[in-house]
Chains A and B, each alone.
Chain A
Amino acid sequence: MLFALAITALVLAPVVVTFSSFMRIEGDILGHLTEFVLPELVVNTLWLVAGVGIGVTLLGVSLAWLTAMCEFPGRRVFDWALLLPLALPAYVTAFVAIGLLDFTGPVQTWLREGWGLTGLPEIRSRGGVILVMSLALYPYVYLIAKNAFATQGAVALEAAQSLGLSRWQGFFRVALPMARPWIAAGLMLALMETLADFGTMATFNYDTFTTAIYKAWYSLFSLDSAAQLASILIVFVLVAVVFEQRSRMKMRYGAVGRGAASRRLRLSAVQAALAFAYAASVLAIAFLIPVAQLAWWSYGVIETDLDSRYWMFVGHSLLLASLGAMLVVAVALLLAYAGRQRGGQAMVWIQRLATLGYAFPGAVLAVGLFIPVAALDNWLIDTGRAWFGFDGTEILKGTLAVMLAAYLVRFLAVGFGPVDSGLHRITRNIDEAARNLGLSAGGLLTRVHLPMLRASLLTAAALAFVDIMKEMPITLMTRPFGWDTLAVRVFEMTSEGEWERAALPSLALVVAGIIPIILLTWRGSRDAH
């Protein structure tokens, strides 16, 4: 409990900093935004959230069902390959999609010049943003839903069929409702990331609530107004989280059994071909084509840009992501566990608040974290100077500890989602049985829960790892001098619009990000057998 409070306090520091901006209201800026900017972008944001919500759910659930429950050609490869888009930052997918499909791109040029076709749908549009974000973020739903289907789908479906339901009825009336907490966990992650996204929206020039936050800060020079808008966004997310949790609070979920792998659904030849075509096109559009484009661009700059420092960038990225992922998973486990042991309304709120960092626009969170750290540092330095004649400008700032703490605040939700929903799947009966057999609380965790949670923990670690690899604003703000990473390289290139040169670090990011995904599926598949 104390620990949970400490973590919440850490997350709340930037929240408090952000909300404290309400003490300094700049009426003219807020008035302007309310009159000319907000009406349209609230509509834009709602469309985006609804569209991406539907998009990631359809893609994620259908692909998870196919790979977890059915047999079709290439299923073993798709099983892990469909996770790969996670390693690709969404703005990269966006940039490639626009590059290929816009008026000036090869597709439209060919259609126009070869066939005289014009008036094609515009990729730089609401539909285009929703499509790209859905393709970039569906793996969150896919990964978590696949776990749910793999561990309980077959048995549930058999039970349903034995009660006389058809396959489709079994899916919609039994398997899908049973997987709901997991799907919801993935969906929340995807939507929080959508709301906080800036890079993709900037590439599409699509105005959302978050782009208005940056407009207030960077263009109208009002960090306070930006923080106020961010606070409204956070409250909105919190309300959505509460609403979502309430709606399924009365339900209880437990595992029905295991052993999906041995009894996959047989698909007819046509169905199998369709399944293959579907999975293959999602993979191609969301991953293979963007990566091929990145590789092509990288090839052009490799001679000038690839130097020995790249190993250092890769090393820094991998080190930060692994340390960060371990920290996130450890804390997420403790937090979820505290909830299981204690329960109660207070604990639910602690968990909700502790995972809010993911909904912040990245740079706002970075500043919200930096301000208290700098304040503490100033106090320490002044004290040090008065007492010991300390001569320096940094104590906490510019240390890896601060950087990792910042990642924890940002990505705790990414770890908490899978771990908590995994923990929910372990019924109370198991705990009681274990206790009756004489296991202590510690023994229960290490000998019963941890082995049962292994897949969830790996999922959490992999998600946190790739997210930290891709993270930009916190890395930029809190990195020690000289601690440049691949994401920092991407920033250096894109800040002056040099997209082709940004391809090389992006590609390196993807390659490094694939490692945990492969590890994850390798361990995961070993678990399943």
Chain B
Amino acid sequence: MNAPFTRLLAALALSALTLPALAEEITVYSARNEQLIKPLFDAYTKETGVEIKFITDKEGPLMARLKAEDKNTPADVLLTVDAGNLWQAGEEGLLRPIKSKVLNANVPAHLRDPDGEWYGLSVRARTLVYNTSKLKPAELSTYEDLANPKWKGRLCLRTSKKVYNQSLVAMMITEYGEGKTEDIVSGWVNNLATSPFPDDTKAMEAVAAGQCDVTIVNTYYFGRLLEKQPNLPLAIFWPNQALKSKAAGVHVNVSGAGVTKYAKNPAAAQKLIEWLSSEKAQNLFADVNMEYPVNPRVKPDPKVAAWGSFKPNLINVKEAGSLQAKAVKLMDRAGYK
């Protein structure tokens, strides 16, 4: 029991000495990885003088950590890479609602929490990628159509354990209900050319090698793969563009952030999130990973823009969180591994 008290005394002495002189500081818990956020934080510190301490981990452990630390968490901001986890953080009471005109103006309504607990900061579009030597784009239409028996043995998918697929299925539930969605997912499973892959890149490589004709992936994986191997016979198809129902549009997810409930410096935390959504920061935030800016006034990176424009799905992304558990169970029942 000696060490903690020594440490306590040392901390007391130290805080008494240094507190008044300390520059403003924010602490961020981030599930978005270091190489994607550090350039932004460095730019913010340079511009405002506010120091940012951060620690990275997976969302699950970060949330468990916030919960265990309770009132004494050092974290001011929680940053994650999908809406489901942000929604869950809100559910568990780990975030505090904020009111911000800046954020309401910069972030479209369907990409933020209606109660203001979290805000999307970059958009990740999940779309179809097909083999150009085996398919004409006219043969493709929607995610749902991939359940059609005509695709038997021609579909590759990433594992259902990845949150991106869980969100996609959750969004389908909002339109079709569980029964019909389960039929669609079972249709996909029946059409699989091979067992599901651990990541999007592997699924696209299988499409390029001719093991299957089409797959569902996030666009930035496509961008990364083509940057390395520009000659692969792969192209993007934007699905669900002609639909008129709620299921219309390409499925999108966000990477986003919220202020923690027990933030020591909530005002500064809010400022950081506002800055991240601003025109200055959005390109830095999205382009580094070939994602789409959330702020509609900011244009995507030219490389990303070259894939063409698309109509996104407009259901609020929080549904991805509230229906995620249902979606996962549904995929289990359908035998989607």
Contacts and interface: CB of A to CB of B under 8 A. Distances in A.
Interface stretch (B99-107, B134-142, B305-313, B322-330): B322-330
B69 A378 contact: yes
Interface stretch (A288-296, A450-458, A492-500): A492-500
Contact of A394 (B56, B58, B74): B74
A374 interface: yes
A482 B41 CA distance: 14
A205 B337 contact: yes
Contacts of B73: 393
Contacts of B211: 103-104
B161 A395 contact: no
A221 B88 contact: yes
A115 interface: no
Contacts of B325: 29, 219-221
A350 to B, nearest CB: 22
Given A104-B209, A221-B88, A377 B59 contact: no
B68 A375 contact: yes
B205 interface: yes
Tell me if B's interface is mostly helix, strand, loop or mixed: helix
Given A104-B205, A390-B12, A492 B64 contact: no
Nearest to B92: A221
Contacts of B206: 103-104
A367 B161 contact: no
Contacts of A29: 325
B68 A371 contact: yes
B33 interface: yes
A126 to B, nearest CB: 11
Nearest to B208: A104
A495 B58 contact: yes
A205 B57 CA distance: 22
Interface in A401-423: 401
A444 interface: no
Which 9 pairs show the lowest CB-CB distances between chains A and B?
A374-B68, A393-B74, A104-B209, A492-B33, A497-B199, A36-B332, A476-B57, A104-B205, A219-B328
A204 B209 contact: no
B7 A399 contact: yes
B53 A476 contact: no
A205 B159 contact: yes
Interface residues of A, number: 67
Contacts of A37: 332
Given A384-B12, A481-B27, 15 more contacts: A214-B161, A218-B163, A219-B163, A221-B88, A363-B58, A366-B61, A380-B8, A390-B11, A390-B15, A393-B264, A399-B7, A476-B57, A481-B53, A492-B56, A495-B58
Interface stretch (B171-179, B190-198, B294-302): B190-198
Given A384-B8, A393-B73, A492-B56, A473 B33 contact: no
A189 B72 CA distance: 38
B198 A393 contact: no
B195 A367 contact: no
Contacts of A109: 209
A122 B68 CA distance: 44
B19 interface: yes
Contacts of B163: 218-219
Contacts of A375: 68
